[in-house]
Amino acid sequence: MPNTLPSTLPKQRLLITGKSGQLGQSFAKLVNEYPQYDFIFLGREQLDLSQPDSLERALESIEFDTIINCAAHTAVDKAESEPELADAINHQSVKQLAQIAKQRNVALIHISTDYVFDGKNHKPYIETDPVDPQSIYGLTKLKGEQALHRINPKGCIVRTSWVYSEFGNNFVKTMLRLGKERDQLGIIFDQVGSPTYATDLARALLELLKQIGTEDDKSDNQTDEVLPIYHYSNEGVCSWYDFAKAIFELAELTVKVNPIETKDYPTPAKRPHYSLMNKAKIKQDFGLDIPYWKDSLQACLNELQNTNKN
């Protein structure tokens, strides 16, 4: 008898919202590394999170096994002047996605933020620390988390911080632009946290997917009462001042960086002074090896350099 090969298992279909954002584009980079998944990327044209009532209709003809919600209203200062829009995207649409996930019995991985905390800690935040957002952005993201807990689909919440990448607008790209235009800059030194390279976060989420929320029943890490929360950023700690110094050093730009206090650079939204997150839980539950922030910054700068050469 001829040898027969085992039938190929169907690929898991991952619905990625926010395809034009930093994280969405970082997922797109990794498609070839994860052939076990079919990636479905949806942007604002196909899935408008500013119109929560439209989501069910927009998704009714699309088959998927997991939603990874990367879309958000992340313009922290603009959110202060457009709270209704921020709430629609960060809260009401998250509620709708959770209901859709629950109805279809698919997993939902939702990205949240360090801004749910007040920034007054003196040690890294763990997942169960009290929340107390100080901005409209943080408040609407927290309401999204709370809606998820009430509806409790399969999946998890992953909070992250200081996201940057080769894509879109972010601190790294702003510093590189300003570093070529000016010989000195004032950068805040009294806000402390950890940067997150979006490619590292995307890869970590795909690793999580291998172990959580894709079974017919709730995963071992999740009871019927509790939707798991995890913290993820790159390893290490720095201030925005330290971050800027490292960007210029690794990019070989000669820029004098002057440390300034938050009060010297007023913004509409209040930022947490300390938002370092403890990542012990996500490392223990999923065996993740999280890169050091400066190594990931170098990787991003290399990507930007290669892109500029092409």
Q: What's the pLDDT tens digit per position in 80-131?
A: 999 999 999 999 999 999 999 999 999 999 999 999 999 999 999 999 999 9
Each domain of the chain, given as residue ranges in start order, spans 12-166+195-234+271-291
Q: What's the pLDDT tens digit per position in 212-269?
A: 744 444 444 444 557 999 999 999 999 999 999 999 999 999 999 999 999 999 999 9
What pLDDT is stored for residue 310 in this prediction? Answer: 56
DSSP structure string for the chain: ----PPPPPPPEEEEEE-TTSHHHHHHHHTGGG-TTEEEEEE-TTT--TTSGGGHHHHHTT---SEEEE------HHHHHH-HHHHHIIIIIHHHHHHHHHHHHT-EEEEEEEGGGS-S--SSPBPTTSPP---SHHHHHHHHHHHHHHHH--EEEEEEE-SEE-SSSS-HHHHHHHHHHH-SEEEEE-S-EE--EEHHHHHHHHHHHHTTSS-SSS--TT--SS---EEE---BS-EEHHHHHHHHHHHTT---EEEEE-GGGS--SSPPPSB--B--HHHHHHH---PPBHHHHHHHHHHHHHHHHH-
Look up 137 and say whether it is catalytic.
yes
Tell me the fold of 12-166+195-234+271-291. Answer: Rossmann fold (3.40.50)
The share of the chain scoring above pLDDT 70, in percent, equals 92
Candidate list 115, 125, 137, 232, residue with the active-site label:
137
